[in-house]
Amino acid sequence: MKRERVVVTGMGVISPVGSGLSAFWDGLTSGHSAVGPVTRFDVSQFSTRIAAEVHDFDPLRYLEKKDMRHMDRFVQLAIGAAQEAYNDAGLIEEEVDPERAGVAVGTGIGGMETLTEQHETLLTKGPSRVSPFFIPKMIGNIAGGQLAIRFNFQGPNATLVTACASSGSALGDAYRTIQFGEADIMLAGGTEAVLLPISFAGFCAMKAMSTRNDDPQHASRPFDQERDGFVMGEGAGFLVLESLSFAKSRGAHIYAELIGYGRSADAYHVVEPHPEGRGAAQSMRRALEDAGISPREIDYINAHGTSTMKGDLAETLAIKSVFGEHAYQLAVSSTKSSTGHLLGAAGAVEMIASLLAIVRQQVPPTVNLDHASPDCDLNYVPNRPQNRTVHVVMSNAFGFGGQNASLIAREYVP
């Protein structure tokens, strides 16, 4: 069976480091981190009191106030990023067959803000006061449902939950959907908004997050020997994927071509990665096999790189296993150093960063990388962007439960 070629024609992002493609890229390459003190709730009793919040998002740019009240923040962020991607692709409703247009969304947790609010209402005011919008605001698949309604996309619609690999998985699912001829166009990405006391309490209890509360700008420091955990963030990223034939038929601008997708499971531990990066390596190998390219052709890897001791080391070992000596020739960076960890939205936002590296011929840095761990000895693009030839990129997204997704894109060649 001949597979359709899949291209990216639109991108939209809402992130702590900047929203909109230009602001996002400027933020990534500035050498600064968006991490700061939590402003949403009282954190005085928490061991971690910092996060990467989105400060420049106004939902009223995209939604009527009456509609906004019926949507959890994770849905609002999704609509903002998806609308930006739709506009960036130059889509016109009359050009799109709604039955050949679909949606794929990744979210790790979904509408936790609504869940906690309504649970409090139940406890303090009784069951009769729980909102009739509770369930359709909270359920994880509702972002995909709302996007389908907004854009009249009646084709395949799926929500993938693979923890912090969720939106990488969603992009892979959308890529396959077009490859196998089930749709001409897919709006794919991820969204997450769980900067809440309950989620903070859970991650604090796991001792998974950085406690560098007095120096938040330097808290997210992937591959650095002083790293002490990830920093939670929020945001959304969406891409418009199209079959090459459909994109050409409407004269669309093409950013890049998706050429490979790999996925795997560590089958090792509920939260820790395999210590040798076994699942991560398998995911990357499968993406390379799917793309039909050699490891030497990869120019840049946007690493999962969360700033945890075990995770960063495991990914480094996996990259060395897959790429051999070429691991020391390519560029590897973690943009989580700037954005914080956007959980289920991370994969899509980082894929956008990877594609912009192709567009700009520049690699965004790993900020706060002042003293690389001796066992993390690759070119992690410390603190400043690097101008270099970027034709082919890989983006990794790994999640709790050992679920992994790797995507490969290359510069579009007609």
Query: What does the radius of gyration of the chain's CA atoms come to, in whole angstroms?
Result: 20
Active-site residue, from 204, 274, 341, 376: 341
Q: What amino acid occupies position 202?
A: G
Name the active-site residue from 164, 204, 274, 376: 164
Torsion of CA 136, 111, 186, 350, to 10 degrees: 170
Write the DSSP string, 29-95: HTT----EE--SS--TTSS--EEB---S--GGGTS-HHHHTTS-HHHHHHHHHHHHHHHHTT--GGG
Alpha helix (H) residue ranges in 94-188:
112-125, 134-138, 142-151, 166-179
User: Which amino acid is it at 194?
Assistant: V
Do the Cβ atoms of 167 and 74 come closer than 8 Å? no
Label residue 264 left, alpha or beta by phi (over 0 means left) and psi (-120 to 50 means alpha): beta
**Cross-strand partners of 395:** 302, 407
Residue 384's CB is within 10 A of a number of other CB atoms, namely 13
Residue 223: which region, alpha, beta or left (left: phi > 0; alpha: psi -120 to 50)? Answer: left
Which position has the token pair 């991370």? 346
* Catalytic site residue from 119, 218, 269, 304: 304
Q: Look up 70 and say whether it is catalytic.
A: no
Q: Which 3 state secondary structure label does DSSP give 154?
A: coil
Backbone angles phi, psi at 347, to 5 degrees: -60, -45
For the question of residue 204 being annotated catalytic, the response is no
Q: Annotated catalytic, 218?
A: no
> How far from 400 is each of 208, 243, 289, CA to CA, in Å?
12, 32, 25
Q: What's the CA gap between 350 and 52, in Å, rounded?
A: 15
Catalytically active residues are 164, 304, 341
